[in-house]
Chain A
C-alpha cells in the first residue's frame, strides 16, 4: 500500500497509509490528513487513486499546492514526490510493486484508458464548507444586446441558447421594418462564445459596418445593424446558478 508521510521542519509528524480511493488534506477536522496551520485552506488538496495511479489535485486553495517546488493544479504522483502545503511537506511513498510498474511503463501513458474522476466526495466536502466547487469559479457570463437606435427597446438579455430576431411573432426579439425577414438574424451561444448569423429576409445584417451573409463570432461592444435598427453586444457576468 502506498503511504504519505507528513513532515514539518524535516521532522516526521505522522504516517498515513493510503487505504481509501480518495483522501483529502486541509485544516478542517474531517480531512484524512489534518494540517492545523493558517497557511493551509480548509480543504486544500486531495489525492485520488485511479487505476493504480495517484492523482493529486489542488482544491483551489488560497496558497496553492506544490510538488518538488513546482506549483501544480493536478499532478500524477511518483514515488518520492514532495507535496508542499504551506510549510508542511508530505512525502509520497509508493509500494515496491507500484515503484517497479511506475518505472517500467513511465512513458507508456498508464492513464491511456478513459476513466471517471470521482468528485462526489470532493463536492460533498466543499458543500459542507459552503464553498462553490472549483468549476463554479469559471465566471458565468450572459450576452446582452443594447439598442442604440430610437426603437426604445433598451437592453435585452440573451437568455436562450438560440435567439431569433425578426418580424415573426415567435421571434425572441421582435423588430419591425418593411424588408425585415420573419427571422432576419439569429444569435447562438456556442462552446466558443456567441455568434450572430444572417437568417433571411431582405434586410442586410451588418456587424461593425461589414455585411454578414453567414455567421460571425460576436465580441464585446460589437455594433450590429439590421436595417434601421442598431444595437451593441456585450457580455455581463452573472451569479452562477
Chain B
C-alpha cells in the first residue's frame, strides 16, 4: 500500500493563537487533528498533549503487541486489537488532560477534540471525540467517518432537527463530549476495509463551519496531490474569513491490495478444495 499524506494548520484571520494541533506519522500510519479549548495557553496545551499521548501509547502498545486487556480501560469486544489500542490511547489522553486540568489552576477548564485515523494492515480505524471530523472520499462520493458530539448533532440523530438547521443553529459549537472535562470518555470508533484510491480528510471545525460536505468533495475530486489538496482547503477557509483556527490533514491511499490469493496459492487451495470435494462425494456415494 502507498500512502501520501500532508497536514497543515492556520491560525485564521481573527484569532491570536492557534489552539489546534495535528500529527502525521506515515511510518506508523497514524494521523490526528485536535482542536483545543480553554483560556490562556490551555487550549494549545490540551490539543498538543492529546496528540502526543496518543502517538506514544499507540506506538508502544503496537510495538509490544500488548494484549487488549492490558491497555487502558476495558477492551471493546466489537473492535480489533488495533482499534482497542486507539480507543485505549484516547482514554489515556483524556485522563491525563483531566488530571492536569484539575491539578493546575492555569489549566482549569481546558479540553480538546480529537479525530484520529489509523491505516493498519487490511483495516482502517477511525476514531473521534468532539466535533473535529473525518471524511472518506471513495467512488466520487463523500462520507463522514466521524460522529459530531454536539447538542445539534444529537438532535439531528433524534430526528428533531434537520442537518440544515443544525448547520445554522447558534448552538452548533456546544460539545457534549471532549477530552479533559470528565474522568472517563467514550470515543466513537469505526473500522473499515481500505480500498484503492481512498482519500481521508480530517479537519477542525474551522473548515467545516465554512464549507459544506459537497464543497469539500468538489475540491477533493479536483486534486490528486495531498499537499495541494490540504493547502486548497485551508485557503478556502481563509477566503471565507477564517474566524477560527483551521487544520486539515489529508491521506491518499494507493495500490491497496485486494487480498487475492497468489496464483500458486490459488492452485493449492483449488486442489485442496477439489480433494475435499472429491472426498465428500466419495463419502456420499459410500465409496
**Alpha-carbon separation in the docked complex, A3 to B286 (Å):** 90
Chain A: interface secondary structure? loop
- Verify if B264 is at the interface (C-beta below 8 Å from A): no
- Verify if A144 is at the interface (C-beta below 8 Å from B): no
- Verify if A162 is at the interface (C-beta below 8 Å from B): yes
**Cross-chain contact B37 with A115 (CB below 8 angstroms):** yes
Within 8 A of A (CB), among B261-287: 261, 266, 269-270, 273-274, 277
Q: Encode A161-194 as 1/0 by CB contact (under 8 A) with B.
A: 1100001000000000110011100101111100
Stretch from A6-14, A27-35, A132-140, A228-236 contacting the other chain: A132-140
Residues of B near A102 (CB, < 8 A) are none
CB distance from A211 to the nearest CB of B (A): 14
Contact of B123 among A162, A200, A215 (CB under 8 A): A162
Which of A161, A177, A182 has the largest count of B CB atoms less than 10 A from its CB?
A161
**Cross-chain contact A159 with B77 (CB below 8 angstroms):** yes
- Verify if A74 is at the interface (C-beta below 8 Å from B): yes
Q: How many residues of A contact B (CB 8 A)?
A: 47
CB distance from B55 to the nearest CB of A (A): 22
Residues of A near B28 (CB, < 8 A) are none
CB distance from B270 to the nearest CB of A (A): 6
Other A-B pairs beyond A76-B171, A116-B175, 15, CB < 8 Å? A73-B160, A110-B170, A111-B174, A112-B243, A114-B131, A116-B176, A134-B158, A159-B77, A177-B273, A181-B259, A183-B193, A191-B146, A197-B192, A201-B259, A215-B139
Interface, chain A (partner B; CB < 8 A): 50, 55, 57, 73-74, 76, 109-120, 134-135, 137-138, 159-162, 167, 177-178, 181-183, 186, 188-192, 195, 197-202, 214-215
Interface, chain B (partner A; CB < 8 A): 35, 37, 77-80, 83, 111, 113, 122-123, 131, 138-139, 143-147, 151, 154-155, 157-158, 160-161, 170-171, 173-178, 181-182, 188-193, 195, 205, 243-244, 258-261, 266, 269-270, 273-274, 277
